[in-house]
Chain A
Amino acid sequence: QKEVEQNSGPLSVPEGAIASLNCTYSDRGSQSFFWYRQYSGKSPELIMSIYSNGDKEDGRFTAQLNKASQYVSLLIRDSQPSDSATYLCAFDNFNKFYFGSGTKLNVKP
């Protein structure tokens, strides 16, 4: 399996704060990167995809990609208790998707 590294957490933030989730990957050939959210007992769902260096914003979520550093991050602004979940970083390698171990986020009211 391809290598994707994430801090397993848990990461605890107060409601309204910014949550910052980080991921590094080993395959320099990867072109597509994804953040998935997985609630307990549910299957993963896509939050963001990012393909080029820089930032991509979608509502309260911002994905950041730095291919030279092999680093991708996810910022969640104005965190809500409903954001409490495990966040999985993934990349696409020749149409196969490999996942990190996930970071558990707890947003405290």
Chain B
Amino acid sequence: SAVISQKPSRDICQRGTSLTIQCQVDSQVTMMFWYRQQPGQSLTLIATANQGSEATYESGFVIDKFPISRPNLTFSTLTVSNMSPEDSSIYLCSVTGQGSGANVLTFGAGSRLTVL
């Protein structure tokens, strides 16, 4: 399965600032997704990162707050804008692959954000 690198792995941010999380995959993948996992909670899908076009956002998530880029088949970024303490969470990049891994979702190690 694909190997996913995320950075930063963790950060402490001030209220009102923005932070960009990077996701790099070691092979070309079909789909890339961004999830959020708030403390003690399950995974919530933020959006699907579409290569060369605007991301597809789930209900409750908007582009102004979570702009996403995907310039090619191996890289994506998620920006958390104008952060508040409620944005403190783990943000996870995930992908579905090619071939036998096409329908399997694999996760990066996550980026733990704390907003003060």
Contacts and interface: CB of A to CB of B under 8 A. Distances in A.
Nearest to A88: B42
A17 interface: no
A88 B105 CA distance: 13
A61 interface: no
Given A1-B44, A99-B42, A90 B105 contact: yes
A45 B110 CA distance: 12
Nearest to A99: B43
B108 A101 contact: no
A98 B59 CA distance: 13
Nearest to A104: B40
Contact of B104 (A1, A49, A88, A100): A49
Contacts of A49: 103-104
Given A96-B33, A101-B41, A1 B59 contact: yes
Q: Which of A90, A95, A98 has the most CB of B within 10 A?
A: A95
Interface of B: 31, 33, 41-45, 48, 58-60, 92, 94, 96, 103-110
Interface residues of A, number: 20
A2 B43 CA distance: 12
Interface of A: 1, 32, 34, 42-46, 49, 88, 90, 92, 95-102
5 contacts: A43-B110, A46-B105, A95-B96, A101-B41, A102-B42
Instruction: Enumerate the 4 nearest inter-chain pairs by beta-carbon distance, A residue then B residue, closest first.
Output: A43-B107, A99-B43, A101-B42, A97-B105
A97 B92 CA distance: 13
Contacts of A100: 42
B49 to A, nearest CB: 12
